[in-house]
């Protein structure tokens, strides 16, 4: 009898880091379900579901679908938006967009993941935060605040989810060399930018059930120099 593969769910799977994460977990042997408002090009081994991650009903339905494919093992909350904003040009609409996707879009998938999985099996949630959530930048004040909320959320839910056999981490990368980031900074890859694949490899390592067994609630800062050693 063929053993049922465990499922990894990746939000923001349609492009950029989310796409690299989906590919990494597929390569590692997981069945991968991707959630994105717009699905990407077909990827062998990836089941993509067009999902608004700020809609509770849509998120719940997507995770029920994912759970029907196999035991839920991993959730990577990689979906995010990062328009620049200062205090002077911040608007209510921009605030709601950034916080809805970056914060509510982390809370709802995590709730649905926990509700749909078997507590007897070990699991892991990896939230994608940012160094801007640890040391805020004046050119992206709303984005920085939203990622600080993700860091705090990760710490806040760790004890609650430990009781359900789920470890929780956040990663705080510097620049990641995705097409969107390269366009945002003017078309050149920043010297301190890690590749999406390097970041995806780190998330994979964190998610392994035999790795960091006694660690939860931590945010790991990712630096290109450290990754390249």
Residues designated as active site: 143
- Residue of 78, 142, 88 whose CA lies nearest to 110: 78
CB-CB contact of 221 with 134 (8 Å): yes
Residues in contact with 160: Cβ distance below 8 Å, sequence separation at least 6, in sequence order: none
Q: Cα–Cα distance between 4 and 188 in angstroms, integer?
A: 43
Q: Cα–Cα distance between 153 and 156 in angstroms, integer?
A: 5
CB-CB contact of 63 with 116 (8 Å): yes
């Amino acid at each position: 009898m063929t053993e049922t593969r465990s499922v990894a769910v990746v939000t923001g799977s349609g492009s950029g880091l989310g796409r690299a994460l989906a590919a990494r977990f597929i390569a590692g042997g997981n069945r991968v379900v991707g959630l994105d408002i717009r699905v990407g090009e077909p990827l062998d081994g990836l089941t993509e579901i067009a999902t608004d991650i700020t809609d509770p009903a849509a998120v719940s339905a997507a995770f029920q679908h994912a759970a029907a494919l196999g035991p839920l093992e991993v959730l990577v909350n990689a979906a995010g938006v990062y328009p620049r904003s200062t205090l002077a040009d911040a608007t209510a609409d921009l605030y709601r967009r950034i916080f809805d996707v970056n914060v509510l879009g982390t809370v709802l998938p995590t709730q649905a993941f926990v509700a749909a999985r078997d507590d007897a099996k070990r699991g892991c949630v990896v939230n994608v935060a940012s160094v801007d959530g640890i040391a805020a930048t004046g050119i992206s004040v709303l984005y920085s605040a939203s990622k600080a909320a993700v860091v705090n959320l990760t710490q806040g839910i760790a004890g609650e989810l430990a009781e359900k056999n789920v470890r929780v981490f956040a990663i705080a990368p510097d620049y990641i060399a995705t097409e969107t980031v390269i366009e945002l900074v003017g078309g050149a890859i920043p010297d301190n930018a890690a590749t999406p694949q390097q970041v995806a490899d780190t998330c994979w390592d964190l998610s392994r059930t035999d790795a960091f067994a006694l660690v939860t609630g931590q945010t790991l800062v990712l630096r290109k120099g450290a990754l390249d050693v």
